[in-house]
Amino acid sequence: MPDLSRRAALGAATGAALVAGVARASDAVAQGAPTAPLPMRGNEGADILGPRNLAREAQNPDIVSPPNTDAGTLPNLRFSFADSHQRIEPGGWARQVTARELPVSKSIAGVNMRLKSNVVRELHWHKEAEWSYMLAGRARITAVDADGNFFIDDVGPGDLWYFPSGIPHSIQGIGDEGCEFLLVFDSGDFSEDSTFLLTDWFAHTPKDVLAKNFALPASAFDNIPKKELYIFPAPAPGATVAADTPQGAGKVPESFSHRMLAQDPFRFPGGTVRITDSKVFKASKTIAAALVEVEPGGIRELHWHPNTDEWQYYIEGTGRMTVFASQSSARTFDFAAGDVGYVPFAQGHYIENTGSTTLRFLEMFRSDHYADISARQWLALTPHALVQAHLNLPAGAVEGFPTAKTVVIKG
Q: Please check the confidence at residue 241 and state whether its pLDDT lies above 50.
A: yes
Question: Could you tell me the sign of the dihedral formed by the alpha carbons of 382, 383, 384, 387, in that order?
Answer: negative
> What pLDDT is attached to residue 82?
97
Domain(s) of CATH 2.60.120.10: residues in the chain: 81-258, 263-409
Q: Is 6 exposed, middle or buried (0-12, 13-18, 19+ CB in 10 A)?
A: exposed
Per-residue pLDDT of 397-409, as tens digits, reads 999 999 999 999 9
Q: Tally Cβ neighbours within 10 Å of residue 399.
A: 11
Residue from 89, 177, 363, 399 carrying the catalytic annotation: 363
> What pLDDT is attached to residue 16?
44
For residues 359 and 353, is the Cβ–Cβ distance under 8 A? Answer: yes
For residues 3 and 156, the model is more confident at 156
Q: Please check the confidence at residue 159 and state whether its pLDDT lies above 50.
A: yes
CA distance 387 to 397: 10
Q: In the chain, how long is the greatest CA-to-CA distance?
A: 88
Mean pLDDT computed over 102-111: 97
Query: What topology is assigned to 263-409 in CATH?
Result: Jelly Rolls (2.60.120)
Q: Please check the confidence at residue 86 and state whether its pLDDT lies above 90.
A: yes
Per-residue pLDDT of 183-193, as tens digits, reads 999 999 999 98
CA 131 from chain centre, in angstroms, equals: 11
User: CA distances (Å), 281 to each of 109, 154, 159, 276, in order?
Assistant: 20, 17, 11, 6
Phi-psi region of 74 (alpha: psi -120 to 50; beta: other; left: phi over 0): beta
> What pLDDT is attached to residue 29?
43
> pLDDT class for 6, splitting at 50, 70, 90?
very low
Identify residue 337 by its one-letter amino acid code.
A
Mean pLDDT computed over 327-338: 98
Q: Which CATH class is domain 81-258?
A: mainly beta
CA distance 350 to 150: 42
Q: What percent of the chain has pLDDT over 70?
A: 92
Mean pLDDT computed over 163-168: 98
Q: Please check the confidence at residue 27 and state whether its pLDDT lies above 90.
A: no
Which residues are CB-contacts of 16 (< 8 A; sequence separation ≥ 6)?
none
Mean pLDDT computed over 284-297: 98
Mean pLDDT computed over 303-322: 98
> What pLDDT is attached to residue 115?
98
Q: What is the DSSP letter of 408?
A: E
For residues 275 and 266, is the Cβ–Cβ distance under 8 A? Answer: yes
CA distance 170 to 387: 54
For residues 160 and 208, is the Cβ–Cβ distance under 8 A? Answer: no
Mean pLDDT computed over 33-60: 91
Q: Please check the confidence at residue 15 and state whether its pLDDT lies above 50.
A: no
Phi-psi region of 90 (alpha: psi -120 to 50; beta: other; left: phi over 0): beta
Per-residue pLDDT of 342-354, as tens digits, reads 999 999 999 999 9
Q: Please check the confidence at residue 10 and state whether its pLDDT lies above 90.
A: no
> What pLDDT is attached to residue 32?
56
CA distance 255 to 261: 16
For residues 372 and 305, is the Cβ–Cβ distance under 8 A? Answer: yes
Q: Please check the confidence at residue 106 and state whether its pLDDT lies above 70.
A: yes
> What pLDDT is attached to residue 309?
98
CA distance 184 to 365: 10
User: CA distances (Å), 333 to each of 59, 60, 64, 101, 361, in order?
Assistant: 10, 7, 10, 16, 15
| Closest residue by Cα to residue 130 from 156, 158, 84, 169 | 169
Strand, coil or helix: 136: strand
> pLDDT class for 34, splitting at 50, 70, 90?
low
> pLDDT class for 23, splitting at 50, 70, 90?
very low
Phi-psi region of 170 (alpha: psi -120 to 50; beta: other; left: phi over 0): beta
| Closest residue by Cα to residue 317 from 361, 251, 257, 278 | 361
Alpha helix stretches (DSSP H) within 120-231: 198-203, 207-214
Mean pLDDT computed over 40-62: 94
> pLDDT class for 36, splitting at 50, 70, 90?
confident
Mean pLDDT computed over 216-244: 96
Residue 363 appears among annotated catalytic residues: yes
Q: Is 316 exposed, middle or buried (0-12, 13-18, 19+ CB in 10 A)?
A: middle
| Closest residue by Cα to residue 275 from 348, 364, 360 | 364
Backbone angles phi, psi at 285, to 5 degrees: -85, -20
Per-residue pLDDT of 352-368, as tens digits, reads 999 999 999 999 999 99
Q: Please check the confidence at residue 126 and state whether its pLDDT lies above 80.
A: yes
The rounded mean pLDDT for the chain is: 92
Per-residue pLDDT of 380-402, as tens digits, reads 999 999 999 999 999 999 999 99
Strand, coil or helix: 135: strand
> pLDDT class for 31, splitting at 50, 70, 90?
low
Mean pLDDT computed over 257-269: 98
Strand, coil or helix: 176: strand
